[in-house]
Amino acid sequence: MRTRIGAVVLFACVSVACRRDMQDQPKYIPLRPSDFFADGRSARPLPEGTVARGQLRADKVFYTGKKGDQFVDQLPFPLTREVLERGQQRFNIYCSPCHGRLGNGLGMIVQRGLKRPPSYHIDRLRQVPVGYFYDVITNGFGAMQDYSSQVAPRDRWAIASYIRVLQYSQMGSIDDVPPDQRQPLTLATRPDVQKKPQP
């Protein structure tokens, strides 16, 4: 008797779960026609001026690297050590395979026979504003693809600032170093000075 009651209760539970109301509910499937709207489309056009969340892009300089038609020559946010370290990290991931870690255009891809990009240390690229590098990363240039989907806008600025640091590293002099930090650099470059063993 208990078995029959258990079977009936189980059957009742299972039969309730088999209702197809959720599957067969009235709904509009994307790109299917509809008789409800006058234009015959189920998908409704977005109201004018609609912007997807996170896509407002009101700061034109930040998202284009330009002010009007001119490339900007400074970052749209403060340059910090963290920004440069992030730029170095992103550069080494995305840029160094072609441009090399020094920015000289001798990356691993080039060593394997593909076309060499220009060195960042040529006069033309040393003179361009930093916004130019942001634009090239965003939109690509020549054989270089764009990296707008792989690299976030803030990281593109970080890379652009790191490229500028690479350029300065190749044309700097000891006079560019603050006086209180020159001695360690001078000692490190003098072969006649022996390093003392660490205790």
Express each pLDDT in 141-155 by its tens digit: 999 999 999 999 999
| Predicted pLDDT at 15 | 63
| Predicted pLDDT at 171 | 84
- Does 86 score more than 90 pLDDT? yes
Residue 195: C-alpha distances to residues 174, 181, 183, 190, 192 (Å): 21, 17, 13, 10, 10
Count the domains in the chain: 1
Residue 143 lies in a domain: yes
| Predicted pLDDT at 130 | 97
Structure tokens at 116: 């060499």
Residue 129 lies in a domain: yes
Rounded mean pLDDT of 51-55? Answer: 85
- Does 13 score more than 80 pLDDT? no
Residue 148 lies in a domain: yes
Residue 34 lies in a domain: no
Structure tokens at 39: 């234009």
Residue 12 lies in a domain: no
**What is the DSSP pairing of strand 70-71 with strand 66-67?**
antiparallel
- Coil vs helix vs strand at 97: helix
pLDDT per residue over 122-136, tens digit each? Answer: 999 999 999 999 999
140: containing domain: 80-172
Identify the bridge partners of residue 141 per DSSP, sorted by sequence position: 144
| Predicted pLDDT at 197 | 52
Residue 128 lies in a domain: yes
Are the C-beta atoms of 72 and 129 separated by less than 8 Å?
A: yes
Query: How far is it, in rounded angstroms, from Cα 68 to Cα 61?
Result: 9
14-18, 20-24, 44-48: segment of lowest average pLDDT = 14-18
Phi, psi values for residue 58, rounded to 5°? -70, -25
Are the C-beta atoms of 121 and 106 separated by less than 8 Å?
A: no
Residue 149 lies in a domain: yes
Q: In the predicted model, what is the mean pLDDT of the chain?
A: 87
Model pTM score? 0.69
CATH number at residue 89: 1.10.760.10
Residue 28 lies in a domain: no
DSSP state letter for 77: S
Are the C-beta atoms of 54 and 61 separated by less than 8 Å?
A: no
| Predicted pLDDT at 136 | 98
